[in-house]
């Protein structure tokens, strides 16, 4: 039992995101597999040998950039896709009666 107001140490490894070579682990596995499939589908001949690593390098640089901005960007994007894509924009009208609008100053005037 801890007393309220006491400090509890938490290991730093529990708070850090899991990154693989600077990119998020899930995305690295996906584009690594994709580049390996491209290289293997050409029986490791000339076009596939050059295109596979090129795909890996370009994707890795992009996902490292994303991980520097937000280490959990892929999880955020997956959560974004799961929700309904409805957006209700502001529907203000220019024909509103100005007498109905109450405008209050943010700073009171000194008299």
Answer whether residue 4 shows pLDDT above 80: no
Q: Give mean pLDDT, residues 30-40.
A: 92
Both tokens of 56, joined, read: 């890996």
Q: How confident is the model over 84-104, as pLDDT tens digits?
A: 666 666 666 666 666 766 777
* d(C-alpha 108, C-alpha 106), whole Å: 7
Question: Which spans in 7-110 are helix H?
Answer: 25-41, 46-69, 73-82
**Nearest to residue 34, comparing CAs of 12, 19, 51, 14?**
51
Q: How confident is the model over 48-85, as pLDDT tens digits?
A: 889 999 999 999 999 999 999 988 888 888 888 887 66
């Amino acid at each position: 039992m801890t007393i309220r107001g006491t400090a509890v140490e938490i290991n730093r490894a529990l708070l850090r995101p899991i990154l693989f070579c600077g990119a998020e682990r899930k995305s690295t596995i996906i584009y690594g597999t994709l580049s390996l499939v491209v290289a293997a589908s050409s029986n490791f001949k000339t076009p596939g040998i050059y295109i596979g690593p090129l795909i890996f390098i370009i994707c890795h640089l992009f996902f490292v950039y994303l991980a520097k901005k937000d280490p959990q960007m892929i999880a955020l994007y997956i959560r974004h896709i799961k929700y309904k894509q409805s957006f209700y924009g502001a529907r203000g009208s220019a024909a509103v009666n100005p007498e109905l609008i109450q405008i209050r100053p943010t700073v009171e005037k000194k008299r």
